[in-house]
Structure formats: structure tokens, C-alpha cells
A = this chain, B = another copy of it.
């Protein structure tokens, strides 16, 4: 990936507007930002979310999608001022609308007083940049499952698990992920952090009611793991597209969905120990499928 600091420095040189300086906590833009970070309700209401840190910003810029606001603390602005113009920086005219530099330049820049930036409820890590974006809300594909595997998260509650599965799914090449009500919200900052950009290469459709799911997933067999009594993951042909269902941490897959599993799989594991965590289970399943397709 590129160095987002260089990208931002180039974007800054072609800004068409003057960045807004914010130094008061009564500023409505600051308040909105704080609410987006702290409140799931506000994220739903506004249809927006916040990306924290260079890595997510970089991955988002690579998609070419617009950014509403780039939020930068004073100290990062000073860093940008110190980045020398690069060779490619002059070839302005040729830069596409969706290039990372142009996407960053088209955003509204908010420059935050360092103290105000420090007051935000950010994840523990030095992440001196934020981006406010419209939460992608893809429509359900009309012919779900004709484009490859899909993943269904059934009431997976832990944000770290949801993020980990998104990251793993992206690495496995899965492009569609659905969640049932009760699953942690995918676009929360903590899930985004764990997803490491996996969100941006997938179509994520949240809160699909189980009955809607049953109507939708008609092209693909549902595959899920059960602790005992399933057929061995390793003895099953997984090469055709599947709809993988990963269930709640404590309760597993809901009974109504369990009944509809075309493949009830068991991961053979050591005796007398706790079962795999759902994110580890997903990694084992998705990469076993990948292995079978590669060999």
C-alpha cells in the first residue's frame, strides 16, 4: 500500500477549500464526530461511520469511494507540511476523480486542536487521523450466491470476532457477508479496526431476518459447524460455492438455521478441551475450502 502521509500531503496541495479549524468543543461538527465515535444509534441515524488510523484510511482510499470529512489533529497537519512534494505530484490534470489523492482532496478537512482530538474516544493506539464516510449499504444481490460463497453471521456478538471474521473472509476471497439481527454492528470503530480493511472489499448486508435469509439463500447449500456428529470438515467436498453460517459464541447457530444446514460439519479436534472460538473456526473452514480449490 501507499504511504498515506504522502497521499495526504499531495491532497493538501490541491485542496479547493480552506480546512476548517476547530478548537471549541461546542462546535457542532466536533459534536457530531464525537457522537459518531461513541454512539451506535448516531451511526445508524446518520448512515455514517468513522475510520480510525492510517491503515484504514489507506485501505479506504484504495477503493476510490468518497470521504466526507478528513479529521486531522494539528500535530499531523504539521507533519504533512514537512512532506516534500513528490515527482508525480505535478501531473495534476491526469489524476482521476477516484485516485487516492483526489478522494482525499475532495473531502472536507477538519483540523482539530490537539487537545480536542485527545478528548475523542479513540481506540488505544496512536492513530492521528480520522475519516468520516458514508457507511456502505449495498442492496442484496438479486441472485444471491451466484457470485460465489457467502458468509452468514448468526448473532455473533463480540465485535472482535466479527472484525476478525471479516478480515479472514477477505483474505479467503469471500465477497458477500450477511448478518442476522443480534450480530455486532459491522461498521462500529472496534469492528473496523479488527477488520483491517476487509470491510471495504466485501458487500456487507446487516440485519437480514432469518426468514428473509431462507428465501434468499436458495442457490447455495448452507454449511455450518456442529461440535459433534457432523461429517468431518476434511472428508467433505467444499469446492462448490457455499453459504457458510457462523453462529453465536455461546449458543452456536440458531435452531431454525441449523435445521436448514445442507452440510453439518465437524472440525476434528483434541478431546476434552473447549471448542474453537468462532473466528478460529471460520478461519479453519474458509481456508480448508480454499485449499481444496487450489490443490
Cross-chain contact B274 with A171 (CB below 8 angstroms): yes
Cross-chain contact B171 with A269 (CB below 8 angstroms): yes
Q: Is A180 an interface residue (CB 8 A)?
A: no
Q: Is A276 an interface residue (CB 8 A)?
A: yes
**Which residue of chain B has the shortest Cβ distance to A269 in the bound complex?**
B171
**Which residue of chain B has the shortest Cβ distance to A232 in the bound complex?**
B294
Please name all residues of chain B whose beta carbon is closer than 8 Å to the beta carbon of A171 when the two chains form the complex. 269-270, 273-276, 280
Please name all residues of chain B whose beta carbon is closer than 8 Å to the beta carbon of A272 when the two chains form the complex. 201
Q: Is A167 an interface residue (CB 8 A)?
A: yes
Cross-chain contact A198 with B291 (CB below 8 angstroms): no
In Å, the complex CA distance between A291 and B268 comes to 8
Set B167, B269, B277: member contacting A277, Cβ < 8 A: B167
Please name all residues of chain B whose beta carbon is closer than 8 Å to the beta carbon of A283 when the two chains form the complex. 276, 280-281, 283-284
**Which residue of chain B has the shortest Cβ distance to A267 in the bound complex?**
B287
Q: With A234-B295, A284-B287, A291-B288 in contact, is A168–B277 under 8 Å at CB?
A: yes
Please name all residues of chain B whose beta carbon is closer than 8 Å to the beta carbon of A201 when the two chains form the complex. 272-273
Cross-chain contact B160 with A274 (CB below 8 angstroms): no
Set B167, B173, B197: member contacting A280, Cβ < 8 A: B167
Q: Which of A275, A277, A294 has the most CB of B within 10 A?
A: A277
Please name all residues of chain B whose beta carbon is closer than 8 Å to the beta carbon of A232 when the two chains form the complex. 294
Please name all residues of chain B whose beta carbon is closer than 8 Å to the beta carbon of A152 when the two chains form the complex. none
Q: Is A178 an interface residue (CB 8 A)?
A: no
Set B167, B270, B287: member contacting A172, Cβ < 8 A: B270
Please name all residues of chain B whose beta carbon is closer than 8 Å to the beta carbon of A284 when the two chains form the complex. 283-284, 287
Q: Is A188 an interface residue (CB 8 A)?
A: no
Cross-chain contact B268 with A290 (CB below 8 angstroms): yes
Please name all residues of chain B whose beta carbon is closer than 8 Å to the beta carbon of A197 when the two chains form the complex. 273-274
Q: With A280-B283, A291-B288 in contact, is A274–B173 under 8 Å at CB?
A: no
Please name all residues of chain B whose beta carbon is closer than 8 Å to the beta carbon of A281 when the two chains form the complex. 283
Cross-chain contact B234 with A294 (CB below 8 angstroms): yes
Please name all residues of chain B whose beta carbon is closer than 8 Å to the beta carbon of A170 when the two chains form the complex. 270, 273-274
Please name all residues of chain B whose beta carbon is closer than 8 Å to the beta carbon of A194 when the two chains form the complex. 277
In Å, the complex CA distance between A257 and B270 comes to 29
Q: Is A185 an interface residue (CB 8 A)?
A: no
Q: Is A164 an interface residue (CB 8 A)?
A: yes
**Which residue of chain B has the shortest Cβ distance to A164 in the bound complex?**
B277
Give residues in A with beta carbon < 8 Å to B: 59, 160, 164, 167-168, 170-173, 194, 196-198, 201, 232, 234-235, 267-270, 272-277, 279-281, 283-284, 287-288, 290-291, 294-295
A-B interface, 7 closest residue pairs, ranked by CB to CB distance from nearest: A173-B270, A280-B283, A171-B269, A283-B283, A196-B274, A170-B273, A284-B287
Identify 10 new A-B residue pairs, CB closer than 8 A, beyond the known A168-B277, A171-B275: A59-B274, A167-B274, A172-B270, A196-B274, A232-B294, A234-B294, A267-B287, A268-B290, A276-B283, A284-B284
